[in-house]
């Protein structure tokens, strides 16, 4: 059964990209914060309300493989929470091009669906929230892994690598983004996994050292 495209994608299909006057905003909270890989007109750091970022999505392409899936982030509905990231403004021909690229990167290869959310820019001059498109992996997709302890998630990340690089890089880049661009925010889930990973790595390295005869 063919699934109808979400509103933002349907808009890009129905209108000629060169004639579109209304920009589209795309909110990223994972690898999109440092590697969008599509053309955009502007970007803003900010947050969306009602969601928590969680390393609950399995990845068998970008940061893992079929035998050893990686762990990447998705959003979990959480009324009191906020998730920080980057919103990208795409205009004109950029809209269709970015949606086509992201449909393959996030939906086909990643298992993510789309949803429209209200994005609140970090910039204090912005008065109203911006409607933005976001990609969310739900429990219904086949590579969804669900909750696990921070230690178990870190252990899985350490041994996983895919076509976009090692899963460790994904975790550390996301943690660095939060520290540099959102220093006032304490992302407990993210930083706890990073801490668990750092504590495991020395033990792993020591175990892999060759024995030296005395």
The first and second tokens of residue 204, run together, are 């792993």
- Identify the active-site residue in 106, 151, 169, 208: 106
77 labelled catalytic: no
Packing angle between helix 188-208 and helix 150-158, nearest 10 degrees?
A: 50
How far apart CA 11 and CA 14 sit, in angstroms, is: 5
CB contact at 8 A, 102 and 31:
no
- Can you tell me which residue has the tokens 């550390």? 172
Cα-based distances in Å from 186 to 120, 179, 181, 190:
17, 9, 12, 9
* Catalytic sites, residue numbers: 106
């Amino acid at each position: 059964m063919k699934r109808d495209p979400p509103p933002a994608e349907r808009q890009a299909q129905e209108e000629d990209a060169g004639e579109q006057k209304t920009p589209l905003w795309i909110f990223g909270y994972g690898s999109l914060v440092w590697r969008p890989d599509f053309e955009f007109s502007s970007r803003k750091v900010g947050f969306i309300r009602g969601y928590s970022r969680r390393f609950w999505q399995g990845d068998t392409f970008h940061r893992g493989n079929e035998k050893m899936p990686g762990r990447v982030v998705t959003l979990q509905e959480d009324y009191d929470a906020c998730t920080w990231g980057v919103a990208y403004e795409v205009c004109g021909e950029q809209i269709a091009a970015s949606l086509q690229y992201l449909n393959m990167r996030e939906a086909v290869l990643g298992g993510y669906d789309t949803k429209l959310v209200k994005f609140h820019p970090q910039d204090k001059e912005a008065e109203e929230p911006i409607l933005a498109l976001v990609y969310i992996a739900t429990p219904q997709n086949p590579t969804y892994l669900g909750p696990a302890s921070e230690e178990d998630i870190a252990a899985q990340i350490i041994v996983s690598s895919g076509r976009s690089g090692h899963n460790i890089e994904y975790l550390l880049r996301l943690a660095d983004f939060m520290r540099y661009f959102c220093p006032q925010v304490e992302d407990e889930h993210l930083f706890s996994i990073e801490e668990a990973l750092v504590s495991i790595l020395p033990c792993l390295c020591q175990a892999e050292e060759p024995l030296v005869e005395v």
